[in-house]
Every structure is written in structure tokens, then in C-alpha cells.
Structure 1
Amino acid sequence: MALADAGRTDDRDRLLRQGAARPVADLAGACAALRAVRRDAETHALLGAFLGRRTPEDAAALAAADPAALVPELRAAARALSPARERDLLHALRVAGLV
């Protein structure tokens, strides 16, 4: 994102946190677009914000859009937040049949 390239990572992170409130389908598209241009830090920040605001079941619904890519990314983001967040995510992913 241009903000990160300009050294404005706080602004970038604020926008990504706001994006976490979007519908799951929108977030799946945003993650795919960020991955396509190799914006791993932005993807991680977006997923971290998403996991901090949404339910584990929402995260499982997001992961279902592209399990091969999103399950590992969501797990990494959850792990960065807390062991409890990762545990809750793993449970939701198992219930959804994604792990």
C-alpha cells in the first residue's frame, strides 16, 4: 500500500483495522488482492485486526473462501494475538472442517 511505502504505517494499520469490519466476502477479496501483490505485512495486519474484532466463526467463514492460503495466515495472525485466540480459531476451523 502506498501509505506503508511512504512510511505511514500507522495510517495504513488504521485503514486495515477499519477494513476488518467489512463483510467476510469483501475481506476474502482484499486478502487475495494483497497476496497477489505480495503485501504480506498488510495481509497479516488486516487478518490480525479481523481476528481482534470478529468471532472465531467469522474467521472460519473467511478461511473457507481459500483454505489453502487463509488457514495458515489466520493461524499466524491469531498466534501473534494470543494463545487463547489461536486455540479458539483452531476450534472454529475444526468445526467448519477446514483443519
Structure 2
Amino acid sequence: MTQAFSRVRFIMVQPSHPGNVGSAARAIKTMGFSELVLVAPRHEDVIRHPDALALASGATDVLERARVYGTLEQALAPVTLAFALTAR
């Protein structure tokens, strides 16, 4: 992993489906990144949910290191530049 990649954090806000969290972890790792942050996930223990683990498929280390925050403000606290995307 390059030093620049280690400074990138992917934040999911209020994820509702554990499978999406697992899929995101897999995509993050496939692209060479490693930091996943979750903000107020619907399922309290989403990173250990069977669907998340199944869809992470080889990226459970990203799930295990994922941090969970209550607010987006907390998740963005150390961030100096942010970009936002949505499916809506």
C-alpha cells in the first residue's frame, strides 16, 4: 500500500444492509485501500453480521479494523479534504 492510500478513508453513513458493508470492504481492499468508517449503522454489530462477513470475501481484515462513529462530524474530524457520493 502506498503512503497516499493509507491517508484515504471511506465513510459509509447510516448503512442499512450488512451485505453492503461487506461488499464495500471487499471493494476497498481490492483497490488497495484499507480504511472503512461507518456512521450510525442500522445494525449495531454490523461488522460481525454474517451477511457482512460473507460478502467481504477475503477482506474481513478491513471489517475488523472498521471504526464506528455516531455522527458524520466525528468521522470527518481528522479529515482535511472530503468528497461525497450518493446513489440517490
Query: What TM bracket, shorter-length normalisation?
Result: 0.3 to 0.5
> TM-score, length-normalised on structure 2?
0.43
The higher relative CO (CA closer than 8 Å, separation ≥ 6) is in 2
Which structure's residues are more often helix, by fraction?
A: 1
> TM-score, length-normalised on structure 1?
0.40
Which structure's residues are more often strand, by fraction?
A: 2
